[in-house]
Amino acid sequence: MNIKTLAAQLGISVSTVSKALNDSYEISAETKKKVLDLAALLNYTPNAYAGSLRNKKSSNIAVVLPEVADSFFSQAINGIESVAQEKGYHVIVYLTHEKQHKEQSILNDFRNGRVDGVLMSLSSETTSDEHICRLKDKGIPLVFFDRVPEKMMAASVVTDDFEAAYKATVQLIGKGCERIVFLSLSDKLAIINHRVEGFKKALSDAGRTYHEHMLVNCSLNEQQNYETLKAVLTRTERPDAVIASAEKTATDIYSICNQLGLNIPADLKVIAFASLPIAALLSPPLSTIVQPAFEIGKTAAALLFKALEKPGFKLKNEYVILPSVFIERKSSCP
Amino acid sequence: MNIKTLAAQLGISVSTVSKALNDSYEISAETKKKVLDLAALLNYTPNAYAGSLRNKKSSNIAVVLPEVADSFFSQAINGIESVAQEKGYHVIVYLTHEKQHKEQSILNDFRNGRVDGVLMSLSSETTSDEHICRLKDKGIPLVFFDRVPEKMMAASVVTDDFEAAYKATVQLIGKGCERIVFLSLSDKLAIINHRVEGFKKALSDAGRTYHEHMLVNCSLNEQQNYETLKAVLTRTERPDAVIASAEKTATDIYSICNQLGLNIPADLKVIAFASLPIAALLSPPLSTIVQPAFEIGKTAAALLFKALEKPGFKLKNEYVILPSVFIERKSSCP
DNA sequence: CTGAAAGCGCTAACAA
DNA sequence: TTGTTAGCGCTTTCAG
C-alpha cells in the first residue's frame, strides 16, 4: 500500500495524490475527497522513512536516559511528551543503563537523521564527551537535563543542586548530627559535584572540616552498591546521617537499616534527592529534596523546540536552573 | 556526509563503498580498509531511513505501554531490551497514558514500516480493537503482554491472574475479613476480568455471595480516582480489606488511609498486584502479588523475535502463562 | 574485484 | 488544477 497504488486505482498521478494527502491548495476539493476516501478505505498510512528521507526531517526527538525505573526520569519523560505532542513530534526513549558504551552507540546512531533533536541525561559512567561533540558537530540540537556535562558548552536544565545540598546539610547539622555522609552516584557527574560542593560548604560554614570518608561513591552495579552501602553503615564510626543522591540509594539505605536493625531516624537520619511520589508512605516517611521533574522535562523540551523551529537559532550554553523543594519528614527528624 | 561523498573522496564508486561498509566478500581487504578508515575519519554514519526504506526493515521494535511510572512496566521494558539488544534491534517506547485515542494513533503509525514488530500492553480505556486488527492485517507481528485483549486471537504473555486473585481472596477470608472489595482498573481489560473471576470464585467457594459493591472500577484519572477510592473507604459499610489491581491504586489507598486515620491492617487489610521493589519498606509493609515483570518482557520479546526471524513463521494465538508470587507482609496480617 | 543503474516511497520544482 | 520527473541515501542485481 503506497501512494502509487492509490494513484493507479484512481487513475491519477502520484503527485496529485501526494498533494491531496497533504491538503495542498493546488488540489481541488473534489479530488482531495476522492483520494482521502480511498486512502481510508485501503487502510493507507504513509511510509515514515520515505518521508523522512525526502524531507530530511523525522519529526522524532530522542530522550536518552540512564534508566526508566526511577520516578524522576519517568516524570521527566511525561513532561517532555507533553510538549512534543503539541508540536506533532514523536518521543523515542533510549536507555543507557548507566553505561557509557551504550550511550555512545545510541548517540552515534543519531548522527544521520534518525532524530531531529536530542534530550539527554548523562549516564553516571560517562567520562568521555567525544560522542557528544560528534553529535553537536553534525548540528543536531541537544539539550541536557539534570545530569548535565561539566565543562561542555551545552544547553542545560538543572535544579539548584548546590543550594539544596547545602540546606539539607544545614538541617542535619541543626539536628545535632555529627557524622554526616554524602552518598554520591559518581564523581563524574557535574550535578552531583555541585551537590557535594554544597555539602562541603555547609560543613565548613558550621566550622567543621571535610574528610574523604564523608563522601561515598555508590557503584551503580546493583549488588555491589548494596555492599558498599552496608560497609558504610557498619563502620566503627557509624554515620548518624546520610544524604542520598538518588531514589534508589535512599531505598537501599532503608533496606539495609531494616536488615541491620538500625532505626531511622534515631540511629540514622536520611534525606534524599528523590521524586518518589510515595516518600510519605515509607516507614518512616522519607525527607526529600524534590526536583520538579515534569517541569524540567517540559523546559528542556521547550528549549529544544526553539532550536528545532527556528532554523537560524543556535542553542548556546543556556543554563536554566529550576528550584527544588525540601520536604521534611520523619526520616530526618529527631 | 553520505556514501557518495566517501566514494568521491576515494575515487571509487558508491556501490563499492556500500559493499565495503557491509563487509561484502566481493571487496578486497585493501579497499575495505581504505573505506572504513575514511568513514571513521569523516565521522560517517549511515542514514537509517535510507536503509530502512531500501531494505523494508527498520530493526526497530515498538513497545506500547500505558505508562512508564509503574514498576511493572519499567521492569518489563528492561526485559524486552535485554533480548532486543542481543538481536541487534532498537527498542522504541511509546506511551498511551491509558488513552485509547493515543493508542490508536500510535498503532496507525506502525502500519507502514516504522517498526518491524510490536509489543504491547493495552490501555485501560481501550474498547475497540480495530486499530489492532488493522495492524495485524498489514502482517506486522504483534505480541501482547500482561494487559492482553480478551477475545482476539493474538500471541500473549500473562500471569496466572485468576489463581493469584483467588489465593489473595482466600487469604483475606482466612484472616476473617467480611467485606472485601476488589479494586479494578477497568472492566475492559481481560486480565483484570480474570482476576475478578478469581475473586468471585473464592467468595463463592467460601459460601459467600458476590455483590456489585464489592467491585470498584478505578478511573485512571488521577484526581477522580482518588475521590472514588475515598468514597469507598468512607462507606457506611466500610470494607475491611481491599485487593488492588495496580501499584498506583495500592499507594493511593495508603495515602487515603493516612488521611482518614485508618489503620492498615487493623482497619483495612491490603493486598496488591504490584511489582514495587520497595513494597517491604512501606508503612506497613505491603503484601504483594508480584508478577515476574522482567521475565514477562523477555518472554514476549522472544516470541516476537520468533516471528521476526522466521519469515514463514506466523504468530498464532500462543498464550504463555507465567506464575506470579504472593508475598505476605504486614498489610494483610492481623 | 569494481562499477552503472534501478528502485525503495515520497515530495516538490517545473511543465502542461 | 493536474502530471512528469528528479532525487533523498542506500543496496543490489547485473555487467564489466
The residue of chain A with its CA nearest to that of B43 is A134
| Per-residue confidence (pLDDT) for residue A71, from 0 to 100 | 94
pLDDT band at residue B187 using 50, 70 and 90 as cut-offs: confident
| Per-residue confidence (pLDDT) for residue B168, from 0 to 100 | 96
pLDDT band at residue B317 using 50, 70 and 90 as cut-offs: confident
Distance CA B302, CA A140 (A): 34
The chain-wide mean pLDDT, for chain B, equals 92
Would an 8 Å CB–CB cutoff place B329 in contact with chain A? Answer: no
Q: What is the mean predicted confidence (pLDDT) over B117-142?
A: 90
Is the CB of A282 less than 8 angstroms away from the CB of B283?
yes
Q: At B7, which amino acid appears?
A: A
Q: Tell me if B277 sits within 8 A of A222, measured CB to CB.
A: no
Nearest by Cα to A264 from B281, B293, B97: B281
Q: Which of B95, B138, B281 sits opposite A283 (nearest CB)?
A: B281
Q: Tell me if A290 sits within 8 A of A275, measured CB to CB.
A: yes
CA of A141 to C1' of C13 (A): 29
| pLDDT tens digits, B20-36 | 999 999 999 899 999 99
Q: Tell me if B91 sits within 8 A of B61, measured CB to CB.
A: yes
| Per-residue confidence (pLDDT) for residue A209, from 0 to 100 | 94
Which residues touch B280 (CB under 8 Å, ≥6 apart)? A255, A258, B286, B329
Distance CA B96, CA B70 (A): 13
| Per-residue confidence (pLDDT) for residue B222, from 0 to 100 | 78
Is the CB of A68 less than 8 angstroms away from the CB of B71?
no
How many CB atoms are located within 10 Å of the residue A14 CB?
14
| Per-residue confidence (pLDDT) for residue B151, from 0 to 100 | 67
| Per-residue confidence (pLDDT) for residue A126, from 0 to 100 | 87
The residue of chain B with its CA nearest to that of A133 is B43
SS (H, E, C) B194-239: HHHHHHHHHHHHCCCCCCHHHEEECCCCHHHHHHHHHHHHCCCCCC
Q: What is the mean predicted confidence (pLDDT) over B164-189?
A: 93
The residue of chain A with its CA nearest to that of B81 is A95
Q: Which residues in 301-320 of chain B line strand C, with CB less than 7 A from it? A: none
Question: What is the mean pLDDT, run by run of 10 residues, along chain A of 334 residues?
Answer: 90 91 89 90 90 92 94 95 93 92 92 93 89 88 92 86 96 95 89 93 95 87 86 93 95 96 96 96 97 97 92 79 97 91
CA of A21 to C1' of C15 (A): 22
Distance CA B298, CA B287 (A): 25
Per-residue pLDDT for B220 more than 80?
Answer: no
Domains of chain A: 3-46 (1.10.260), 58-159+293-323 (3.40.50.2300), 161-291+326-332 (3.40.50.2300)
